[in-house]
Chains A and B, each alone.
Chain A
């Protein structure tokens, strides 16, 4: 039942109205029917956050309560789309209102006219429950879109038919009379149910050497990338969106730059997915709410994103959700909270900040779906700490829930060490649970290589402190060689050029071979030192620097074999 009320006060995106409503009911505000959501109830007055610009709205205008929470439309046609924070398709908005986003425009998220070929996978008479697939449509060349029974619906199928349907046509009917369509709605703030949560045991392979080797993320895991501006957060997020081996990628540009979203928009359709050979866009959904778009819609955008991700998870896919940046989301909460004149917590953020953060991240996970399939949602959230200060509330609130931490470092970025991930501050708590997978699928000594590499890098840090004081020539011979090996790890393994056609993606085998080559050099160097060769001569072994070039080689096996044998030869000549 729609109820109506009257506006009492307007202050920016916050509108107070005399209205009967429940929390999070969606309202149509004012004569222009702007979309809003009830976020506080005070006696007879409701506070509504409005997703569009409120200029010109007057007290006394009507507010209509739809009695529904904020929902997204789930069905075929989501892939390759670009939406704003409340799932309005930006391409349709452009047709409606031109090059600038104007308010009051609305368009359905899913194309109502497009027809899909539906193939039923169950017959009449079968009993289905929420989350079961009743059939499928081919959404893109690579993705088969399963049509699911909405989670809270169950019953015996009375009729079902193959054929060409729009998203709103009925494809099946239950005994109870419930109609099943290609699409259904789901409230964004409510996690979609699953049968069971599983432990993460499979890595999300990203093609980025530093992530795949030292700081892996599990499928269904959560990672955060905090970093000051200019440290390459967005480039890293985009590299992950491009190369990670998830079936579906949902990319939420939350309060970020318009030009960056455009870059994603123009680039993704042109990049081919290394696994399927089809354009990446076919597995991607973009949600763009740039920094100058309404702040309340920014608050909603991450929920919209994660709900879409959960929907594809329920079909049995592994989904990666990138949120860039969760700080903008937190700031949107702060902005609205301060308009509500709520008592602020730390740095003006609302006291419920960390609850909201953990609720959001908890929607990730490797699960058994209602239908009994194994699937996952991995979440990678960028954090933009003001002034690069990791002690601020958003970073700290995030750190409490995430398991993989990729710390971006402005200093490294300034030296053009990319990805500028600080290897001493970053960590991954998945390392142990994933070791079995790596040992079975890449190499039995994978973990050992990782441990040795980490040890060298940590030792370098200690040695550098001494070098800062006394200069590198004063170090003992053995330590000078360690510094050399550490340099090789940094430059040949950790550094990766996202803009080079070959280096942008490094398969696990290549990452492993590079590590092995450097470790082989370390072993040879140690043996040479033991037999009395001076450190100076070891650091002058020329062939070692050619490992740098392997990054840019497509046929890395042959190239590395050559480098390896040259290194062996040079060492043999040293003795």
Chain B
């Protein structure tokens, strides 16, 4: 294999190499530094005259004298059963002092799109034990449901609680967990890992770690590595896999960094125009396939810059994922855990996973009614701030009280509290029963008869 010493330009994480033999698009590159260190990278742009490659470990210490070798293949992850219980770097190398992983095979990390015709429709209710998710924004197996958080909010605790409690009722198998950290602090990473260790989950977990001080470019391959591992376990080993990706905001920052280094024309807020497609290549790798036993459920976490849900990162994410769980600073400051704001939250696949035989016959209607009253109650709070509670009608005062009770009894729960779905719905009905029956317009007469005032 030929080596080239024809680097002509280095800019940020990019190197420009001239006078090469034809080099394939997306090919893997090795760069040997005079010091003996070897870095790896990937081709971003190739032509007969010049090849542009991004270097995953960063270009520090690299000069025009470095030797470049094009490997003629794309990035692959060695996969095998032995991955479970291991901690790997962001580019897939073991960092837990354990032995090398003996690969069963090598899998391309880009991953192909699942043929929509081959997908099977997700429909298994996952009970997370958290009322605001189970009752109001139900998660189903094969879904991708991100947590939209802000800085200083307990999104990691919630993710851990879900990872710990998630189960499909009536099925004994737990979830295998693939955890990918992108640019989070080592402290946060430690918390996750020790949590996995304490609960014994580590032996069915694969951890990919790209920490805050690891190269930013490596972040671009970390989620792809993780999802490749997930696809292996789900579609080749028939396991149900829960993938936790944190924090996608850091990932997008890296994407922007590369874009800027290549002097691309930026889209909104400087993020590249292809960010939608790029994120879709990550998020769409969730789901189930007809005739295969396993599934991939994704729980990506992202922090909204300045809590702005219209920022390109949460915005594009929301258009790809099947809903979102939104955390609220306001609830958090009132000491309500989990601070999940149900109003902007949504699960698009909820209707596929609830109802008779899955959860309970009243689930849909009860949650619609809770939503409606809570939304009205929140509006009334704004009104009370202006005119005072005295000028409200009796009905409005009831709704106002409902909103407060909803937050205190339904939303709020303990970090270790694992509520059964029946419990969640019963709490909902106990709140609804405080409102005169005739005002429950979202609930059908039969359901009112069956549940109103009985819980």
Contacts and interface: CB of A to CB of B under 8 A. Distances in A.
Nearest to B368: A416
A288 B116 contact: yes
Interface stretch (B160-168, B245-253, B341-349, B413-421): B341-349
Interface stretch (A179-187, A301-309, A443-451, A466-474): A466-474
B306 interface: no
B287 A295 contact: no
Given A59-B22, A291-B276, A291-B280, A90 B46 contact: no
A162 interface: no
Contacts of B112: 53, 100-102
Given A259-B349, A291-B320, A416 B372 contact: yes
Interface in B1-19: none
Interface string A470-513: 11111000000000000000010000000100000000000000
Given A10-B46, A261-B116, A545-B441, A348 B315 contact: no
B292 to A, nearest CB: 7
B445 interface: yes
Interface residues of A, number: 82
Contacts of B273: 331, 334-335, 338, 348
A341 B143 CA distance: 36
Given A93-B115, A258-B116, A414-B375, A11 B312 contact: no
Interface stretch (A130-138, A194-202, A383-391, A426-434): A383-391
A3 interface: no
Contact of A55 (B74, B119, B319, B322): B74
B47 A16 contact: yes
Nearest to B266: A348
A121 interface: no
A247 to B, nearest CB: 25
Contact of B119 (A102, A258, A334, A387): A258
A259 B121 contact: yes
A382 to B, nearest CB: 11
A396 to B, nearest CB: 15
Interface stretch (B125-133, B196-204, B386-394): B386-394
A545 B395 CA distance: 15
A295 B387 contact: no
Interface string B243-287: 000000000000000000000111110001110110011011111
Interface string A30-55: 00000000000000000000000111
Given A55-B74, A415-B371, A415-B376, A100 B115 contact: yes
B331 interface: no
Interface in A46-78: 53-61
A528 interface: no
A556 interface: no
Contacts of A58: 22-25, 46
B142 interface: yes
Contacts of A571: none
Contacts, number: 228
B113 A229 contact: no
Nearest to B264: A338
Nearest to A292: B284
B110 interface: yes
B30 interface: no
A414 B341 CA distance: 11
B25 to A, nearest CB: 4
B212 interface: no
A82 interface: yes
Nearest to A500: B444
A178 interface: no
A90 B27 contact: no
Contact of B344 (A91, A261, A293, A414): A414
Nearest to B392: A471
Contacts of A53: 110, 112
Interface stretch (A262-270, A357-365, A372-380): A262-270
A19 to B, nearest CB: 14
B120 interface: yes
A485 to B, nearest CB: 15
Contacts of A562: none
Contacts of A388: 310
A8 B48 contact: yes
Contacts of B267: 334, 338, 347-348
Interface in A1-29: 8-12, 16
Given A9-B48, A258-B113, A328 B276 contact: yes
B442 interface: yes
B371 A414 contact: yes
7 contacts: A10-B45, A58-B46, A100-B113, A255-B276, A290-B284, A291-B320, A416-B371
Given A338-B273, A347-B268, 16 more contacts: A16-B47, A60-B22, A82-B116, A257-B320, A259-B142, A261-B116, A290-B284, A292-B284, A292-B285, A386-B315, A414-B344, A415-B376, A468-B383, A499-B364, A542-B438, A545-B441
Interface of B: 22-27, 44-48, 74, 110-122, 142-143, 235, 264-268, 272-274, 276-277, 280-281, 283-287, 289-290, 292, 309-312, 315-316, 318-320, 322-324, 343-344, 346, 348-349, 351-352, 364, 368, 371-372, 375-376, 382-383, 386-387, 391-393, 396, 438, 441-442, 444-445
Interface of A: 8-12, 16, 53-61, 82, 90-91, 93-94, 97-102, 228-230, 234, 253, 255, 257-263, 265-266, 288, 290-293, 295, 328, 331, 334-335, 338, 341, 344, 347-348, 384, 386-389, 410, 413-417, 467-474, 491, 499, 542, 545, 548-549, 552
| The 9 nearest A-B residue pairs measured at CB | A387-B310, A9-B47, A291-B280, A471-B391, A100-B112, A292-B284, A58-B22, A90-B117, A229-B318
